[in-house]
């Protein structure tokens, strides 16, 4: 790799090695010598084992990069967040999304291997299994998949990782640190406009919903066709129940308790507000962030789905996995919403109301939300930071 820098002495002081070439910089001696085909030990090496190893290694490298980005994003969210950082968060989330797209598609490459080819070397793998991928667990934990939401299979790390204490410690640590979903919720709870003594979005939204439901009830009661009337009233009843679940904090909490909702009540309010007023300059980037968070959940679900289809193609649906699970059936159960960290963002659409009912912004909040990064910065330089929130 050619070095465009002039002051080579500085770089040497920073630890660069003189005369280092491409392979040394990338430590290719390690990476390219790490494909140990177990079938080659017999006198019948299996051609496809090479692909099987390389593809897993490629996955692990990309997992590493995703974790690296995730850690930095979690840090940015917890430091005092400025608009310039929001842009950096957006950039890194976008990167994760693009990597995940590659990971979803990569499954197809392994599907060029036939089940018969796989059978020829599968025996050598036991008891190794993707179930023991520490990085995959870290990735899930750092996003916010909780132990209590997981399918009850081999939750005992000592059984899965054996004597590897470092690995167990690292996974346990990732379960106690704030995950991406936690820091995102804290950030959403600070959404400008939620203050009760300010714009009071929640109070206004509640009034708008009551108005909407009242209008719809009047229209339903005027309906002369009995069947249509009954249908409309039933539908209304259901919608009233849904809104009760979001306006009544106790009902919301009960749903969180049952694992059907994950966000705190305030974070949910913030995300609804951002969704409604996403055209305001201040909410444009937060809205994109919410969208990318859903992309991450979707893509991981798509990966799980592609993986489970491949597993069925390779070993069918009744063989146990090399890690000892029920194989196909275990993996299929991980496709549920329990593994979606941002499930509340997906379900936001349930609470949306027609544009004409969205509470209009007051001049005050409109001017707050119209602030761009430059304006905010200038104000701060002029010592006017008191009125500007730290979102
Ligand atoms: C022939 C190809 C593959 C087969 C037959 C296969 C099979 C399985 C099975 C049966 C499991 C369930 C655990 C067990 O009992 O072993 C599993 C889990 C897993 N596999 Fe694969 N796998 C394949 C390829 C891959 C690849 C390319 C990756 C990429 C990293 C991967 C990553 C994982 C992960 C992360 C899990 C844990 C999933 C979870 O617990 O939610 N697998 N695999």
pLDDT digits (tens, 9 = 90+) for 338-355: 999 999 999 999 999 999
Cβ neighbours for 190, distance < 8 A, ≥ 6 positions apart:
270, 389, 390, 391
Q: What domains lie within the chain, and their CATH numbers?
A: 1-36 (no CATH), 61-192+266-346+356-387 (1.20.58.480)
CA nearest 337: which of 261, 263, 272, 228? Answer: 261
Q: Quick one: pLDDT at residue 14?
A: 65
CA nearest 385: which of 89, 79, 80, 73? Answer: 80
Over range 96-115, report the average pLDDT: 97
Question: What are 269's two structure tokens?
Answer: 């309010």
CB 21 within 8 A of CB 27: no
Atom 4 (ligand 1): residue with closest C-alpha?
A: 311
Q: Quick one: pLDDT at residue 27?
A: 96
133 lines ligand 1 (CB under 6 A): yes
The Å distance, Cα 279 to ligand 1 centre, comes to: 42
Cα–Cα distance, 13 to 8 (Å, whole number): 9
Task: Write out pLDDT tens, residues 131-181.
Answer: 999 999 999 999 999 998 898 876 678 778 888 899 999 999 999 999 999
Cα–Cα distance, 118 to 313 (Å, whole number): 11
Task: Report the range of poorest mean pLDDT among 95-99, 296-300, 311-315, 380-384.
Answer: 380-384
Q: Quick one: pLDDT at residue 6?
A: 54
Q: Can you tell me which atom of ligand 1 is nearest the CA of 319? A: 10
Q: Can you tell me which atom of ligand 1 is nearest the CA of 137? A: 35
302 lines ligand 1 (CB under 6 A): no
Binning pLDDT at 50, 70 and 90, where does residue 274 land? very high
**Residue 378, pLDDT above cutoff 70:** no
Binning pLDDT at 50, 70 and 90, where does residue 81 land? low
CB 303 within 8 A of CB 100: yes
Atom 26 (ligand 1): residue with closest C-alpha?
A: 56
Atom 35 (ligand 1): residue with closest C-alpha?
A: 130
Task: Report the range of poorest mean pLDDT among 15-19, 108-112, 261-265.
Answer: 15-19
The residue whose CB lies within 8 Å of the most ligand 1 atoms, and thus the one to mutate among 131, 138, 326, 338, is 131
């Amino acid at each position: 790799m050619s070095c465009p820098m002039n002051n080579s002495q500085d770089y040497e002081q920073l630890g660069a090695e003189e005369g280092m070439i491409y392979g040394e910089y990338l430590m290719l001696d390690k990476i390219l010598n790490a494909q140990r085909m177990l079938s080659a030990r017999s006198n019948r090496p299996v051609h496809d084992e090479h692909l099987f190893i390389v593809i897993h290694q490629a996955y692990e490298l990309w997992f590493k990069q995703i974790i690296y980005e995730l850690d930095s994003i979690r840090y940015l969210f917890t430091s005092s967040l400025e608009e310039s950082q929001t842009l950096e968060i957006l950039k890194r989330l976008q990167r994760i999304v693009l990597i995940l797209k590659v990971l979803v598609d990569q499954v197809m490459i392994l599907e060029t291997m036939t089940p018969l080819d796989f059978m020829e070397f599968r025996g050598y793998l036991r008891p190794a299994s993707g179930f023991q991928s520490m990085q995959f667990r870290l990735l899930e934990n750092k996003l916010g998949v909780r132990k209590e939401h997981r399918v009850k299979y081999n939750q005992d790390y000592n059984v899965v990782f054996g004597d590897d204490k470092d690995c167990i410690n690292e996974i346990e640590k990732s379960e106690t640190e704030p995950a991406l979903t936690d820091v995102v919720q804290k950030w959403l709870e600070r959404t400008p406009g939620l203050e009760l003594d300010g714009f009071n979005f929640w109070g206004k939204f509640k009034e708008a919903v009551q108005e909407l439901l009242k209008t719809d009830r009047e229209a339903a009661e005027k309906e002369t066709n009995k069947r249509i009337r009954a249908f409309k009233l039933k539908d209304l009843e259901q919608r009233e129940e849904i809104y009760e679940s979001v306006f009544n904090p106790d009902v919301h909490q009960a749903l969180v308790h049952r694992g059907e909702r994950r966000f705190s009540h305030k974070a949910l309010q913030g995300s609804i507000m951002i969704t409604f007023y996403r055209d305001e300059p201040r909410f444009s980037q937060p809205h994109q962030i919410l969208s990318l968070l859903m992309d991450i959940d979707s893509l991981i679900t798509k990966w799980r789905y592609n993986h489970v289809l491949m597993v069925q193609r390779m070993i069918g649906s009744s063989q146990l996995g090399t890690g000892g699970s029920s194989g196909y059936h275990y993996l299929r159960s991980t496709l549920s919403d329990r593994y979606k960290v941002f499930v509340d963002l997906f379900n936001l659409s349930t609470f949306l109301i027609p544009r004409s009912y969205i509470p209009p912004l007051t001049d005050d909040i409109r001017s707050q939300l119209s602030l761009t990064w430059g304006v905010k910065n200038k104000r701060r330089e002029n010592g006017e930071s008191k009125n500007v929130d730290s979102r």
